Amino acid sequence: MKLILSLTLIWMLFSTAAGALQCETCQDTKCSNSFVQNCSSESACVSAAVQGSGFGGTVQQLYKTCAPFVVCPFLGSQTYSVSTTGLSASASAQCCNTDKCNSATLNFTSAQSVNNLQCYSCDATNSNCSIRIQCKGVEDRCFRANVTVQSNTSLTMGCVSSNLCSLASNFNLPIVQRISNLTLRKRS
């Protein structure tokens, strides 16, 4: 009886590990040291190149990791973007579902050209929210949100891509701790 129980337990462990998706994962900003991770309940592998700019500087971060469906609702490439007065962020992401399919390092998005949409935005220095900004690239929505960073909440308005809105509504993004009261206006 102990032999059957032991064999069953070993079979369960190996069948779980053998069936798990394996994704490359990195934890440094340039993904220079990546390793293979067995994804437990995750559904896809993701590679992303995220960059943000504002206040006179630009920050870039590369990601490779396991991702749940909420992060990778579709397989393939996506471009995400958001802009406010003085601040902008964009990301290129690739989701896939075969072992180590996220081994390639993505390029950061190039400068996006302006499109026909304009949205209101707020000046962070004086809370003036009547400033119109020109949206760019894939930004096809205007947004209005109360954003909480640490313990400070402020009204934020600007341009956003619809796929980023969908992503933000499903979980908290690392850029901000909380986004609430999000309202959107479609491109006319």
Answer left, alpha or beta for residue 161, where phi above 0 means left and psi between -120 and 50 means alpha.
Answer: beta
pLDDT at 93: 93
Q: What pLDDT, in 10s, does the model give residues 157-171?
A: 999 999 888 877 665
- In-domain check, residue 5: no
Average pLDDT of span 152-161: 89
Question: Domain span at residue 132?
Answer: 22-186
Distance CA 75, CA 184 (A): 25
pLDDT at 56: 84
Q: How confident is the model at residue 139 (pLDDT cuts 50, 70, 90)?
A: very high
- In-domain check, residue 104: yes
> Do the beta carbons of residue 83 and residue 133 sit within 8 Å?
yes
User: Is this prediction's pTM over 0.85?
Assistant: no
Average pLDDT of span 57-80: 90
- Range with lowest mean pLDDT among 62-66, 87-91, 131-135, 177-181: 177-181
- In-domain check, residue 3: no
pLDDT at 170: 62
Question: Is residue 177 predicted with pLDDT exceeding 50?
Answer: no
Amino acid, single-letter form, for residue 25:
T
- In-domain check, residue 111: yes
Average pLDDT of span 135-139: 96
Q: How many domains does the chain have?
A: 1
pLDDT at 188: 45
- In-domain check, residue 89: yes
pLDDT at 70: 81
